[in-house]
Structure 1
């Protein structure tokens, strides 16, 4: 249990009335070590070192001389190790944007409050504060060399994990997304954000994708023979689509293994702007003619997602997780989610919602008629050998949860 009187709080607001009000509310809540400042300059004088700096700052955004956004920049320069709560009379979208900026600066933020501040709302945010773990700092991500990645590809250190996609209407498991991991002999499991960019930058992405795709096709065949037919998706870089070799490779492979092209989904993410789109457009169109399924991944976050929808015959649209999780509680996210869903509907595309993290996310998908769900609420990625057992457990979970939901709706 945290001793509230020991928590050092700084309140920064240019309105003397708000300073007095927040001071009184904090005192009533048991927080007595409170410093009040009416300007950013005065507040920065209180942030000298980790020993004397406040644990928590209640920050107004709109102030003369130095606004809250500029103040945050100064906090970064001073390596501030505490947390923030934004307190402002600005509208919700500005507060959300400011909150994302604070998060981008790696400063812990408990949330934001609208003026006039409600004591119970402030109390609820303060309850979420915990002291930083100063004795176990988070290790920086290791940077790998192109030679190390080349060796990993050649030595068979890349392993496929699979994350299920399920029907929102029925709960049926209809497919999986293939997610590659590097099983490093020293560092253990290395996630793709540490080596996919490296592969693209050093011309290794074709070899990497071929390894992933080859294993995914072989696994699709194994599941089919075990009476577990699943559409297996593989992520494809736009760099893979710059050469006809990729088209020939995937077409020849599925024919050799005996997997129908429509059982394989190629998820295309435009991670960087292509200067010449003619080759990718030709290859994707021909893949579609060969009956491979095409999915536009992370919709809404790429360089030209709408142009891609116009130009390429995608079967599937994946709504980015940034527009799905908590869309039930956030009007801005909900607008993005609804617009993406409606657009896909009008184009006759199947819709996958990524980042379904909890029951509230799942219920939103059910209410809005989204086709497929993917995310931690359903399952985290797993090895292929774990999937059959998970499917049986999921079927039971769906039966009990869906029945519970239907019963509750009838009461």
Structure 2
């Protein structure tokens, strides 16, 4: 089902397809989903001419890949070159691997792709892509309404005043659904502009040198909250993202050990998530710091696994305890053979290396069931919960307990019959 506010987010659409029959079919599907103003073009050149006449681009474009003259890929490249960046759905009857490649190309171009769908299209496929759009809609609006740009002084003051706080996203056991941990994610709670997402201030923090203070402040808050949860019987692990720049700080280990002592925590309950590209330069200080952190008992997670070229090399030379598979290999894996093969290979390798496996970006029950069948240990994503303030976790947990039967694997037929 597509949310009721879809027409507020998408007021018009463009359908580009050289087949008049296919084009009318797609137009009909979009109208059924609540989009009334729909433009049509029979090929890429017609689409570019039409867009040249419009003051604003449509809120969505559905583009066929195989067209004479200018194919869909060339059209998308022309759109990017002209600075026309509207949400895209690409469609083709060709193999899934080709569609995935086109989807990756669009993302690399910095454009917004909602889905790469195999024909024939139907309401379910398009609605699924539009759900992704509505999930991103609030983020897009926040960025559009962000107001004046921020400076380093604003960020420094926000860190000092405690405006940057952790939101926590649950990590649950894939086989049972039981809560096992949370990931602390930085959010800037601006007194006038509301919640500011991390992609708007983390790069500034790293370029300005403020990332060290921000990291320690986030760890301080996360460990303080962990101590409160532990005192109430909720002994879960807390994961905190670690900037690669912090690994070069000589006093970093002493500072977080001081926090562990202050809150009387065991280092084994804290997981430090490091992106796989963080120590790709093979800096001795970084490798030494990671080894010392592991010696002290902290868990080390390789984050966003699979998004870089050095993943296996990193696993071979750093004492990781956890492998976190990037959402790009999880979301939609149940319907894409290439993703399934990569996902299963990563999970099998991690199992042989005796690493805990975490899948992020789980949004559908079909992907959840797939991860169960592949033996993944932990999962997080919107299917389970969005990131939330610490005070909302107990209420979420109560509701989540009622979902546990739904999240657990269905009993095998032999179990129903009482046989083994």
TM bucket normalised to smaller: 0.7 to 0.9
2:389 and 2:231 mapped to 1: Cα distance?
18
Given that 2:307 and 2:326 are in contact with CA atoms closer than 8 Å, whether structure 1 keeps it comes out as yes
Cα 1:388–1:77 change in 2 (3 A) is same
The aligned counterpart of 2:233 is 227
The superposition leaves residues 51-87 of structure 1 with CA deviations (integer Å, 9 ceiling, x where unpaired) of 7988986645355654332222223455658776545
1:162-311 → structure 2 map (5 Å cutoff): 162-270=168-276, 275-302=281-308, 304-311=310-317
CA distance in 1: counterparts of 2:376 and 2:68, whole angstroms: 46
Q: What is the aligned partner in structure 2 of residue 75 from structure 1?
A: 79
Q: Match of 1:342?
A: 348
TM score, norm. by length of structure 1: 0.82
C-alpha distance in structure 1 between counterparts of 2:69 and 2:278, whole Å:
39
Displacement of 1:266: 0.8
* 1:146 is the counterpart of 2:152: yes
Partner of 2:35: none
Which of the numbers 380, 389, 408 marks the counterpart of 1:383?
389
Q: Can you give the 5+ residue segments of structure 1 that lack an aligned partner in the other structure?
A: 14-18
Q: Conserved in 2, the CA contact under 8 Å of 1:299 and 1:318?
A: yes
Number of paired residues? 393
Cα distance, 1:47–1:162 mapped onto 2, change above 3 Å: closer
CA distance in 2, matches of 1:313, 1:401: 36
SS of 2:233's equivalent in the other structure is coil
Cα offsets for 1:244-293 (capped at 9, x unmatched): 21111112221232111111111112456654521111011111111111
8 Å contact 1:295–1:314 — kept in the other structure? yes
State the 1:90 CA deviation. Answer: 3.9
Q: Cα deviation per residue 1:316-354 (whole Å; 9 max; x = unaligned)?
A: 111111111221111121122111101110100011111
Q: How far apart are 1:402 and its partner, in Å?
A: 5.0
Retained in 2: the 8 A contact 1:46–1:52?
A: no
TM-score (norm 2): 0.80
Superimposed CA distance per residue, residues 160-216 of structure 1 (whole angstroms, 9 cap, x where no aligned partner): 111111112232211111111111111111111111111111111110000011111
Gaps of 5+ in 2: 32-37
